[in-house]
Amino acid sequence: MSDIDLDTETAEGEGEPARKKLSGKFLVLYIILPLLAVGGLGYGAYAFFLSGGSASGGAEGEVEVSLIEEGEPVFYDLPEFLVNLSSPSGGPTRYLKLRVSLELANEDGMEHLEMVMPRVVDGFQVYLRELRPEDFQGSAGMFLLRQELLRRVNLAARPVKVTDVLFREVIVQ
């Protein structure tokens, strides 16, 4: 007997072999999954070519500019900040002493950063004076402070890119 005879069954009363039903496992593994994979690849290729060959889907002619260049990072120490914090009326006066360092990707921006340092210090002073002692509670408060200072220094020092603000000393008294 051949292999074909083992896989087919004969229907009773007839001399012809009956067709075997496809199992659900066979149907999923060998028919549905390959169709989905081919469809997904087709859609990906269509979307890629429709967007003009850009993986990010940006507009044609758009150029992505990276301000961070390879090299050793450079640190710039800012002067110490000593500000009184905003407090409710009649409450005790609280002070913040803050020392930070700015991290730059390389030395190319140091000269420009020194030229705009009065603008950076002014932006920090104005922001820090509006803070309350509750704003420094927990790691979330410090994270938000770091993000806001980084945003302000990058606005003031543009086109130089400051990559991080590092706290050297934070005292709330």
Q: What is the pLDDT of residues 93-136, one digit of tens each?
A: 888 899 999 998 888 888 888 999 999 999 999 998 888 888 88
- What is the Cα–Cα distance from 95 to 173, expressed in whole angstroms? 5
- What is the Cα–Cα distance from 153 to 141, expressed in whole angstroms? 18
Smallest CA-to-CA distance from 95 within 145, 131, 148, 137 is with 131
Show the tokens assigned to 60: 């044609």
Q: How confident is the model at residue 80 (pLDDT cuts 50, 70, 90)?
A: very high
Burial annotation 28-59 (CB, 10 A radius, 16+ → b, else e): eeeeeeeeeeeeeeeeeeeeeeeeeeeeeeee
- What is the Cα–Cα distance from 128 to 62, expressed in whole angstroms? 37
pLDDT at 6: 47
- What is the Cα–Cα distance from 64 to 132, expressed in whole angstroms? 39
58: pLDDT strictly greater than 60: no
pLDDT, tens digit (0-9, with 9 covering 90-100), for 135-155: 888 888 899 999 999 999 999
The region of weakest confidence among 51-55, 75-79, 145-149 is 51-55
Q: How confident is the model at residue 14 (pLDDT cuts 50, 70, 90)?
A: low
Task: Indicate the pTM of the whole model.
Answer: 0.56
